[in-house]
Chains A and B, each alone.
Chain A
Amino acid sequence: MISSRIAAGIDYTHREDGDLCRRSECVAFATIPLGFRTNNRTNFFDYTLDANVAATYALTPALRATTTVGLQYFQSLFDRNGASASDLPPNATTVSSGAIPSVSESSDESKTLGAFIEQQFALRQRLFVTAALRRDDNSAFGADFSAVYYPKLGVSYVISEESFFPRPAWLNNLRLRGALGASGTQPNVTDAIRFFTPTTASVDAVDRGAIVFSAIGNPTLKPERATELELGFDASALRNRLSVDFTYYRKRTRDALIARIVAPSAGAATTRFENLGSVQNTGIEMLLSAQVLDRPTFGWDLTLTAATNHNKILELGVPPIIGTTVQQREGFPIDGWWQRPYTYSDANGNGIIEASEIVVEDSAAYIGPSIPTREITVITGFDLFRRRFRVTGLFDHKGGRYQLNGTERIRCESRLNCDGLVDPTASFERQARVVALRETAARTQYGFIERADFWRFRELAITYNMPPGMARMMRANSGTVTLAARNLFLSSDYTGLDPESAYFSGNTGIQSDFQTAPPPTFWTLRVNFGF
């Protein structure tokens, strides 16, 4: 049997961003009271072509095969025109009315052309073997790099169906699976290109066209290539009331795309993307679902998902990449936190940690990873009163991650109102981190990079299923009312407001806490009717 499929499409999005501050109606800071108007118009086009042909045939009565070849083409185009003006006349609201107008234009385009061939064999609908090869070429690859090939091999075996398998009565199904495959991450559109940027310069008080050097480029830039091994099983038991999915993975990424800091003495861009060394991620992923109680009037179900991830730079290929608080070094996690550690003691016994009572080490030491090493989610639901009501709770845990408590750091260093600084009864630990930051030559932020583990009661929801008669009053077939609350409770030793106060900074987007609001607690009431 031959089947084919061709899908082509265009996704188009138009966005307008406007900002208006009438004269004398906005905050009294700098030139803002003079008023400003911004009007930016952006178009996003995504073209997609996906075509494949599959042939399914039997090689023997027990062995069936499917061969698929396919072609995929993606084109993404972004263009934006921006106009803004400041110093508006009273009551004016248009860009053209501003005394200081400015315009901007930008666009980005990327294209990917890929093709694949996949061969699948199915033996007695129990053993499935899939092999595939994919070739990708992308407009963002460096000039010295052509295309990338991604092979894949997967095996899935429903072993519980075999006669030799000693299946106990409580086990319904057991599937073993394994996969080895490669995938890639493309560079961004201009990451490989050495280029200049046109702009305007004031030359001898006259605005003139100018060209500045913007990006060093990297002609050998190629996609980050990941090879992943997955081993696991899916099982169901106890009349399918309990199911377990378990996966172990080991993902090795080589030619990792890393924004390498360019030494400022080079007088060039701040960073340049390079394919550096290799990174390994290992961990497990597990899903456990259980229908603990299943009665006509009462039910209790439980779902637990858990995942671990341990990330390590196996090889960097260049000297360590050193940022202010983050470094890339072989043998350590990517984007790990590094600072100069210190020890302290209240040597004079006055209850106050002083600079002379702190010893800072000479060089930075590794503190911990910036991304979680484990994540757990627990969802539990209760069906009550003949299943008229359902109560669900969702609990989240993230652990193993460290976070820079930038809010507290700025309070201690600049605002001078943190407890470690102003409260003489503050713990020595709190005092020491302030003194180490403010009064030692190292100015180390070591004490503010904290473990950010937490458990959060993420959601509580109570749903009332309306009786059919009640729904019919609304001329509906069914109806539900749900009252839900998000972010009800947090348990954490993190000393900031919330370990999920997310502030992203720098090229890597490492999460830190810097004067950002925690996730709010909020309530929703939702009424649904089905017609």
Chain B
Amino acid sequence: MTPTTRRPATRRLVPAVALAALGLLSPLGCSTELLEVEDPDILLDANSPAGAVALRNGVVLRLAQAVTGTQGPDALFVYGGLLTDEWRSGDTFVQRNNQDQRIWDPQNTFNAGPFRALNRIRVEAQRAIASLRQWVPQPDSTFLIGQMYALTAYSMVLIGEHYCNGTPLSEVQGTAVVFGDPLSNDSLFALAVVFADSALLNTRGRDSARTRQLAAVVTGRALLDRGRANLPAAAAAVAAVATTFRFDVSHALNVNQNQIWGLNNSAKRYTMVDVEGGVGMNYMTANDPRLPRATGTSTANDLIFDSAFPLFVTRQGIWARTTSVAIASGIEARLIEAEAQLQAGNTTPWLTAINTLRTTTANYPAVQTGFTRGPTLTALAQPATTAAREDVMFRERAFWMFGSGHRLGDMRRLIRATASGGYGRTEAQVYPTGNFFKGGVYGDAIQLSIPQDEANNPNFTQCTDRLP
């Protein structure tokens, strides 16, 4: 073959190949349509009245997940309670054991869950507020907006009470993360008061009374946390709250089972503890009607999960699998008022308030099947000293609000310097110390560390300090 016979063939091939190329490549021009996919698992927006209400419902779910829900890692009420005298780890997971042992460890991988969950309440509530304002007719549904503000404030109070100073609050704007700067606990409490104020300004509509009382209790709690000088203002904030009021996180079998029941009563990874570390409350031996409980006796069914330490589990009898958990209540309001009376030196009204709560059996939580309640409480006599009155005050709070995320904030207030608005107790007087039951000694953590993952916020390095 010669080149002269080959060239014409080559020339004939060129248009054929070009035509084929055009034919093959032509779909690329409409690739956008061709590559469209639908994913029914996700929603790209919630732009409708029903969508706005669903976003609000989502915040309620985030709240449950953060404090008592089963989804994801341990929620705050149980995990934070390990650091206090409320719960003992019955588990093999080192993360729970270290928390119970008061080990300060930002690398504890259980830290990030509740911290992220609390911030989800805050961030998603702001998104729900914007959506409710845009899509849901006002003023009838204003209470929903007020509720979102109140839950935002509540999440800030929980973060301030449980975590060290220097906590950032970041935001998501569109698809951008706007990193927050470190804030002191006190700044968080101040912010919470502001958001609770916004809640109080949005309390018209069907469920307005409940929203208003929630905001009031959150305000009182935040002011309590800001120091004893704020107790009069805290008492004033909660004055209108009915003693019977309670704002519940509710649970359901298919949605969000009660994690306190799940981890304590069912899985036995948590157990109640009596006088933990020599200074904890005698939650078990007090036989208090506010805290029904039962210690197991069967080696087949009642030992804690960690078989290396075969202790019988002590189960609480307040919450079953779907029992709601009160996160704010009228009882809390009365206790705030009582503490204000104590602060003012009005010891008689203080004791009256305490005893009124104690002797009103309607205030006691319902007892779950299989548990018995201790005898009805009697009125207390006036303690002889201020310190003894303070002991009573905090003991009453501990028993009335067991397992509801209040105890760690109270323990921090107890050891906070009096000049800073605290009660000036020593750490050893309040926090468990001495030998830990699984070996070693208790550590020195008095609050939760900000999780190591927060180091991915360029504005954050570590806790500003670990002061109470």
- Whether B57 contacts A443 by the Cβ 8 Å rule is no
Q: Is B390 an interface residue (CB 8 A)?
A: no
Interface segment among A52-60, A168-176, A381-389: the answer is A52-60
Indicate with 1 or 0, residue by residue over B50-69, a CB within 8 angstroms of chain A CB atoms.
01001101101110100000
Closest to A68 in B: B17
| Contact across chains for B255 and A202 when beta carbons are under 8 A apart | yes
A529: chain B residues within 8 A (beta carbon): none
List 8 additional contacts besides A2-B17, A71-B24, A193-B44; criterion CB under 8 Å.
Answer: A2-B16, A29-B267, A58-B10, A137-B31, A202-B64, A203-B250, A263-B170, A413-B94
Q: Is the C-beta of A350 less than 8 angstroms from some C-beta in chain B?
A: no
How would residues 196 to 236 of chain A score, 1 for a CB under 8 Å from any chain B CB and 0 otherwise?
A: 11111111111111111111111100000000000000000
Interface of A is mostly: strand
- Inside 8 A of A216's CB, which chain B residues have their CB? 172, 175, 177
Q: How does the 8 Å CB contact mask read for B152-195 relative to A, with 1 for contact and 0 for none?
A: 00000000000000011111101101011000000000000000
B100-108, B135-143, B331-339 - interface stretch: B100-108
Q: Kindly identify which residue among A112, A218, A261 contacts B175, using a CB–CB cutoff of 8 Å.
A: A218
Q: How far is the CA of A438 from the CA of B177 in the complex (A)?
A: 36
Which residue numbers of A lie inside 8 Å of B, CB to CB?
A: 2, 4, 28-31, 51-53, 55, 57-61, 67, 69-71, 73, 100-102, 105-113, 115, 117, 135, 137-139, 147, 189-190, 193-219, 260-268, 270, 319, 321-325, 410, 413-416, 438-439, 441, 443
- Could you tell me how many residues of chain B have their Cβ less than 8 Å away from some Cβ of chain A? 97
A/B interface sample: 18 pairs, CB < 8 A? A31-B266, A52-B24, A70-B24, A137-B31, A138-B35, A193-B42, A195-B42, A201-B64, A208-B54, A210-B57, A211-B55, A213-B58, A265-B168, A267-B118, A268-B177, A322-B452, A414-B92, A415-B92
Least Cβ distance of A406 to chain B in Å? 10
Give which listed residue, B94, B112, B267, contacts A410 with CB less than 8 A.
B94
A113 touches B31 (CB 8 A): yes
B456 at the binding interface (Cβ < 8 Å):
yes
How far is B454's CA from A434's CA once the two chains are assembled, in angstroms? Answer: 27
Q: Which listed residue, A29, A205, A212, touches B124 by the CB 8 Å rule?
A: A212
Q: Which listed residue (B62, B105, B118, B305) contacts A212, Cβ 8 A?
A: B62
Which residues from A are CB-within-8-Å of B453? Answer: 261, 263-264, 270, 322-323
Cα distance, A322 to B324, chains bound together (Å): 38
Taking the nearest CB of chain B, how far is it from the CB of A203, in angstroms? 5
Report chain B residues within 8 Å CB of A60: 3
Q: With A and B bound together, what is the CA distance between A513 and B91 in angstroms?
A: 21
In the complex, are the beta carbons of A261 and B16 less than 8 A apart? no
Decide: B308 and A415 in contact? CB cutoff 8 A: yes
Q: Which residues of B contact A57 (CB under 8 A)?
A: 6, 9-10, 13
Closest 5 CB pairs of A and B: A267-B119, A267-B123, A201-B61, A210-B57, A264-B116
Contacts of A410 in B (CB 8 A): 94
Q: Does B389 belong to the interface (CB within 8 Å)?
A: no
Q: Cβ of A194: which chain B residues have Cβ within 8 Å of it? A: 44, 174-175
Is the beta-carbon distance between B457 and A265 smaller than 8 angstroms? yes
Residue of A nearest to B54 (CB): A211
Q: A55 and B31 in contact (CB under 8 A), knowing A270-B116, A324-B107?
A: no
Q: Which residues in chain B, 1-16, are within 8 Å of chain A measured between CB atoms?
A: 1, 3, 6, 9-10, 13, 16
Which residues on A sit within 8 Å (CB–CB) of B172?
A: 213, 216, 266-268
Contact of A267 with B122 in the complex, beta carbons under 8 Å: yes
Q: Is B38 an interface residue (CB 8 A)?
A: yes
CB distance from B16 to the nearest CB of A (A): 6
CB distance from A296 to the nearest CB of B (A): 48
B62–chain A nearest beta-carbon distance, Å: 6
